[in-house]
A and B are shown apart, each in its own frame.
Chain A
């Protein structure tokens, strides 16, 4: 009864959902993982789901990770499908990453910069050796990291401010009469894409896709010779101006990762040679993503001037294919039934084969 599997039907779907729920739970003899455990102990998964899910809510992201059994693109999809139903109150004030309460800030451009190099909680210099004590006595208390003797500088000066007095680094001037920013969640992609549309698409874009694009750029497919001027991780305040008040009030706090990539000298008859910038920003701690985003942002800025753009410099290629909810859905829709289409193809191929056979036998007769 192979046909039953193809036709599926009500009962099959219901039962498949039950089986899925059972598999999600795993062995009932093992304690169920709680959403707060996911939130606290799988925090980088939560960060990625918030970033690419475009929704800053640690509890919901943790729930999505749990519900999706750790399949992060699936968790991101759950977040997106939830966020799209939320009412919109308006735009916050732009967050000031210069005012960030920094937990990590490093620059690869200078040995030391004002505020110093702050490693923070990073995997960077760990040896990637499986820690079997985590498996053996995962419940043992973790020794707290020592407190610094001197308090950290606040605000921590940005790389832009370090360069500012020489004009070595291009700066983005705030436009006073700017229209409301493009909103990718409400409007379809349009080309040529403005910077805000590009940055939104990259911020929502799949980490793996952007990582590979950034890597391809480094290997020479549209190279931007990037240098990591600054990465900072920490908390920023979110301010919102309600119509009733007319002045901004603080409504919450976000953890952000910001990356400034600087690249090869640019310049033209109007502008003196200076370093160009690429920008990366994510919710939570998503350093790999923020760095990849910054490199791709920089690469995309070259696109308009190039005839033979590399993949990472091609707006349509990058922006149309970076969203993993779109990509995952469309790739996986191939498992939906296609037997009407296939029957049409089958008919054509059978017909072409008959014609081919007829030609072959005619040739054979002619030869004999």
Chain B
């Protein structure tokens, strides 16, 4: 990607936000890192993308990004989903930053709804886009109440809710945004990642930052932090598993998307993490439908259109 400095977007400050706003956000990030799992209110700005489309994540990225960073952006685990493409374009233009699809190469990874399959390393930052930062919101609509519940570490309501789920369905029926306890102090929403990804959060080498633009909250899980998914002794936490493997790369134990192939209910399962899948295929791994057009489609698309 060539420099975007002559494009209209660069009539704005580097990385779009003004420097005072970036400082304000960095202060909120530092506070969030100091109190893992605590939701720090911040003066969220209006961004040039709609609320609910990643304004919190974009503000976090804008506050920490520099010209030497390598930026990756995924939505549903994939680099080529429309909103990920749009956000990656934004930073390529307003921050003159190198972009990549390679999880290992990226210094900042912005994500919606997934944690990459490849383990993250020290020095990497994973930025989550968060629609609803309050894990208790579904149980208590009032912010004044939920803030008090966190302050008093009053999480009985959450356990009752999990118990009710066991009573009604015979299991804990929460599938995404599964509630986590951070350092045995703050109940935290992991954002709407599938519970499949929850175990990746604990003791992670990377910094995990969470930004909710519309709700104006930032929170964080610093590296090497204890993250516990809530459960009961007799109903332990469990993650999703599939009977199928990835039809393109044959991976077992990755999170799979279901692709409907025809009107007769024919379907295939493929890795949700598009880069993970492509890397495996490049290494010679073959799935049951490795020749499917989908594999070529992903390979053919460059991350960023040549300028």
Contact = CB atoms under 8 A, between A and B. Distances in A.
A13 B53 contact: no
B86 A13 contact: yes
A8 interface: yes
Contacts of B53: 329, 333, 336
Interface in A265-279: none
A306 B50 CA distance: 35
A307 to B, nearest CB: 14
Interface in A1-51: 1-4, 6-14
A352 interface: yes
A346 interface: yes
A83 B256 CA distance: 42
Contact of A14 (B44, B195, B305): B305
Interface residues of B, number: 66
Contact of A340 (B176, B214, B259): B176
B85 A9 contact: yes
Given A84-B45, A332-B52, A9 B259 contact: no
Contact of A329 (B51, B78, B260): B51
B151 interface: no
Contacts of A56: none
A154 to B, nearest CB: 38
Given A3-B294, A344-B176, A347-B240, A333 B77 contact: no
Interface stretch (A63-71, A184-192, A242-250, A284-292): A184-192
Contact of B46 (A10, A12, A80, A191): A80
Given A2-B260, A188-B44, A191-B143, A339 B52 contact: no
Interface in A185-216: 185-192
B80 interface: yes
Nearest to A86: B18
Contact of B113 (A81, A188, A331, A341): A341
A333 to B, nearest CB: 3
Contacts of B294: 3
Interface stretch (B153-161, B167-175, B220-228): B167-175
Contacts of B257: 339-340, 343
B305 A343 contact: no
Interface residues of A, number: 52
B260 A13 contact: no
Contact of B78 (A7, A187, A325, A326): A7
Contacts of B114: 340
B51 A325 contact: yes
Contact of B175 (A9, A81, A339, A344): A344
B3 interface: no
A3 B297 contact: yes
Interface in A340-368: 340-341, 343-348, 352, 355
Contact of B81 (A1, A8, A80, A189): A8
Contact of B194 (A6, A77, A341): A341
Interface string A79-98: 01101110100000000000
Contacts of B175: 341, 344-345, 347-348
Interface string A319-343: 0100001101111110011111101
Contacts of A57: none
Interface of B: 12-13, 16, 18, 41-48, 50-53, 55, 75-78, 80-83, 85-86, 89, 112-114, 131, 141-144, 169-170, 173, 175-176, 192-196, 214, 216-217, 240, 242, 255-260, 272, 293-294, 297-298, 301-302, 304-305
Given A329-B55, A329-B214, A340-B255, 6 more contacts: A9-B80, A10-B302, A188-B42, A188-B217, A336-B75, A341-B175
- The 7 residue pairs across chains A and B that have the minimum distance between CB atoms: A333-B52, A329-B51, A8-B82, A329-B50, A188-B216, A344-B175, A330-B52
Interface of A: 1-4, 6-14, 77, 80-81, 83-85, 87, 185-192, 316, 320, 325-326, 328-333, 336-341, 343-348, 352, 355
15 contacts: A2-B260, A7-B80, A10-B85, A80-B46, A81-B46, A83-B46, A85-B12, A185-B46, A187-B43, A190-B41, A316-B144, A330-B51, A336-B112, A341-B194, A355-B170
